[in-house]
A and B are shown apart, each in its own frame.
Chain A
Amino acid sequence: MINSIGRVLPEYSEGYGEIRPFAGINKNVSNSEYMNRIDTVKKHKASKRRNNLAELIRELEIKDGMTLSFHHHLRNGDKVLNMVMEQVAEMGIKDLTIAASSLFPVHAPLVGWIQKGVVTSVIASYISGPVAQSISQGDLKYPAIMHTHGGRARAIESGELVIDIAFLGAPTSDCCGNINGVQGPAACGTLGYAVSDAEYAKKVVAVTDNLVPYPAERVAISQEYVDYVLVVDSIGDPDGIVSGTTQITRNPLGLKIAAQAVKVIEASGYLKEGMSFQTGAGGTSLAVAHFLKEKMLEEGLVGSFASGGITGCLVDMFEQGMFRALLDVQCFDHEAIRSFRENSRHQAMSASKYGNPHNKGAVVDQLDVMILGATEIDQDFNVNVTTGSDGCIMGGSGGHSDTAAGAKLAIVVTQLVKKRNPIVKESVTTVTTPGESIDVLVTERGIAVNPRREDVRKQLLQAGIHLVDIKRLKEMAYELTGEPQALDKDGRIVAFVEYRDGTLIDVVRKI
């Protein structure tokens, strides 16, 4: 079958089930029952504390075919997933589903467990490094499922994704499982992606290297959700927790794009008192924040909130009084962690509060301006951030689709050509975010407005901003690079890309 953006999909897939095709950004509303798994937890007064992982794994009675979940707040410094899986694999358990909010290069050992059939299904919102490579090459038995951050929370809360055991890396915990992310050697700030797992998994294990006396303070995940507290030597390497991509670009092209993006924000009328803003952590996106800051200072404007994964750049704006609050699902660097620890207006939010399309109100719907990156964007403004132009998985939506759908003005900033790859293309390799939810594309060689946003187009023209058709941008790119050879479209499906509402927006094929 073909979905509403023209992508060819199977009707059914083993290990996934019936396929619901993507039909438009607000077409599929939830019809599932609200399932509260808290009731299923057996109360016990015995101590939750455990000191031996191997013993705990036996006690948990993990069986073939179960689903284990992990969160990614420790990012490329995470030790929890590998530590747990090593024990599980040693016990000869097979056919497991790993539901991790994201997977990073540090999770390379997973490749071996995938190849041995210990893990036959992977569900994640973002996958990079050797695991992404392995899945792209077809090592995994069933196609991986790639959610958005909000979509993952929706899937868990709706009962679509049932987690048997959630292992929560806990930078600090007390013996009853009151967890915080701001203290301890592996402090990572907020714990937004772990919240749904804690609330809905059948069993929850807090894994900590910083056990504090009861009761712990600054609780992010509370004891009523936690079955066990496992104490280990170390849950994460602090150097890997802070991601390295949080610096403003020095690339003159990136800076030009960023300056243009701020002009677009201003011309479209969103640069005003009380504006809300979010940006990804890429160098160009951060430069947008930097130039926006200069503009807001110049005009004396105070915004309402900045949200998302929070970086030092946004903290700096917040501390200079340019936003009243930060709404933070995960901290990207030490500055963000410090700010969250020190300032009560720097608030944590769960992935569900951030972007679940089917709850009673997500933060993304309050966003005015969202700055997004793109690995590729096509003539219908569909964006790919899931695979490279060679077809290999190298990322995933994360909050891309969620924020694009929610924000009043979703701006994609990207170079037109990167190392011979045309970024604006006839057709993207994989659709992550539907073009319907993208409003403006800013490149160094021109700005294009989605024809759906006639209002924005008029405002930009009125402000004297020169616009080009996105098709012309594609031509300009191809004039430089030549027309790329088509990739093989017949390969086996190795991953399903789910839109935030749970419908299928695209598939990834074996490279």
Chain B
Amino acid sequence: MSEVLRSLLFIPGNNPGMIQNASVFDADGIIFDLEDAVSLEEKDAARTLISMALKTFDLSPKKIMVRVNPLNSVWGPEDVLRIASCHPDAILLPKADEKAIEACGKLLDEVEKNKGFEANSIRIFALIETAFGLEHAREIVDASSRLDGILLGGEDYTADMQIVRTREGLELSYARARLANLCKAYGLQFIDTPFTDVDDFEGLTFDIQEAIRWGATGKAAINPRQIERIQHAFMPTQKDILWAKEVLEAWSEAKKQGKGVCSLHGKMIDSPVVVRAEKILENVMAYRQKEEALS
């Protein structure tokens, strides 16, 4: 699951109306939530409902994740076993640490074997939402080859840290920077925390920019109305695209002339700049393909 996931929409696990319309929303991925969005009395009902939904609806090419309950809760292990039997693209594991990731991996091994699924085909995303989890992020990444990415849970993290979560989100900078760097180093996706005020679109836009600044590859959403802005923010601007094209043209001209550096509008171009330009155009291609597939 190494392709782009700009936006991931959380859908409450016990809400039939929302679940059956998941395909309608333009998010790159869906996270069916069995954890925080489901009351204690309805955990069993939600698990059955999501299992049935996964068997009933073809949501491709959207990526489908299910946030299970923590593995150390009474529901967690059963969630993983039951949900994995329906083969979602990934399990999103809350309160992740290396032990939980390892345990989850073993449960998935079991299901894949019993069900005859391809080994390692069900992936894991780790939800890091505690100070401990953040400190152990590196170990979490090493704990399973199934890991495709990390999602930062900003609400729980700031609560655990006993700090206030603000509209500006400066308090998340360390976690964002650290996880972005780690994910980049290991070729994983870093999905930023959702912005919780669903009516504040200005705040949302600022929050996405902040996440992108630190290196997030995608962002979670808790309301369908947030998706369009998230998708849009990850798309390189026309100005960026133009710049990238000019850089590559200048570079190819320089190479023809046997030069290792050249300049554009008075600024030096060397190989890191070229890599950046190539990456921008690659992203544009990837996002456009994604949009084609979703439309």
Contacts and interface: CB of A to CB of B under 8 A. Distances in A.
Do chains A and B stick together as partners? Answer: yes
Interface of A: 252-253, 255-256, 444-445, 466, 480
A445 B225 contact: no
A444 B295 contact: no
Contacts of A253: 21, 24
Contacts of B21: 253, 444
A445 B225 CA distance: 16
Contacts of A444: 21, 24
B295 A256 contact: no
Interface string B6-25: 00000000000000110111
Contacts, number: 17
B20 A256 contact: no
Contacts of A256: 24-25, 224
Given A252-B225, A256-B224, 7 more contacts: A252-B25, A252-B223, A253-B21, A255-B224, A256-B24, A445-B23, A445-B24
Contact of B224 (A252, A445, A480): A252
B95 to A, nearest CB: 29
Most buried by A among B23, B24, B223, B295: B24
7 contacts: A252-B224, A252-B225, A255-B225, A256-B24, A256-B25, A445-B23, A445-B24
A423 to B, nearest CB: 14
A466 B25 CA distance: 15
Interface string B213-252: 0000000000111000000000000000000000000000
B216 to A, nearest CB: 24
A252 B11 CA distance: 12
A174 B283 CA distance: 72
10 tightest A-B contacts by CB? A252-B224, A444-B24, A466-B295, A253-B21, A445-B24, A252-B225, A255-B225, A253-B24, A256-B24, A480-B20
B29 to A, nearest CB: 17
A10 B90 CA distance: 61
Question: What's the dominant secondary structure at chain A's contact region?
Answer: helix
Interface of B: 20-21, 23-25, 223-225, 295
A476 to B, nearest CB: 10
B86 to A, nearest CB: 19
A444 B25 CA distance: 9
Most buried by A among B21, B23, B225: B21
A278 to B, nearest CB: 26
Nearest to B199: A250
A253 B24 CA distance: 8
Most buried by B among A252, A444, A445, A466: A252
Nearest to A466: B295
A256 B25 CA distance: 8
Contacts of B20: 480
A40 to B, nearest CB: 57
Contacts of B225: 252, 255
Contacts of B295: 466
Contacts of B224: 252, 255-256
A445 B57 CA distance: 14
Nearest to A417: B20
A256 B21 CA distance: 12
Contacts of A252: 25, 223-225
Nearest to A445: B24
Contacts of B223: 252
A484 to B, nearest CB: 17
Contacts of A480: 20
B228 to A, nearest CB: 8
Nearest to A465: B295
A253 B21 CA distance: 8
A255 B25 CA distance: 11
Most buried by B among A255, A256, A466: A256
A256 B225 CA distance: 8
Nearest to B224: A252
B209 to A, nearest CB: 21
A255 to B, nearest CB: 6
A445 B294 CA distance: 12
Contacts of B23: 445
A256 B223 CA distance: 12
B197 to A, nearest CB: 15
A188 B224 CA distance: 37
A296 to B, nearest CB: 19
A445 B20 CA distance: 12
Nearest to A257: B24
Contacts of A445: 23-24
Nearest to A444: B24
A358 to B, nearest CB: 43
A445 B25 CA distance: 9
A498 to B, nearest CB: 37
A466 B295 CA distance: 7
Contacts of A255: 224-225
Nearest to B21: A253
A253 B223 CA distance: 11
A94 B21 CA distance: 53
B52 to A, nearest CB: 14
B83 to A, nearest CB: 22
Contacts of A466: 295
B76 to A, nearest CB: 29
B179 to A, nearest CB: 29
A466 B293 CA distance: 12
Contacts of B25: 252, 256
A255 B295 CA distance: 17
A466 B223 CA distance: 24
A480 B25 CA distance: 17
A255 B21 CA distance: 13
A416 to B, nearest CB: 9
A419 to B, nearest CB: 9
A466 B291 CA distance: 12
Nearest to A250: B225
A485 B24 CA distance: 26
A253 B295 CA distance: 16
A252 B224 CA distance: 6
A64 B245 CA distance: 85
A471 B225 CA distance: 29
A455 B25 CA distance: 29
A480 B20 CA distance: 9
B293 to A, nearest CB: 12
Nearest to B24: A444
B287 to A, nearest CB: 15
Nearest to B57: A480
A248 to B, nearest CB: 12
A445 to B, nearest CB: 6
A468 to B, nearest CB: 11
B62 to A, nearest CB: 14
A255 B198 CA distance: 14
A458 B273 CA distance: 42
Nearest to B294: A466
A443 to B, nearest CB: 9
A256 B224 CA distance: 9
B106 to A, nearest CB: 37
A43 B47 CA distance: 79
A292 B204 CA distance: 22
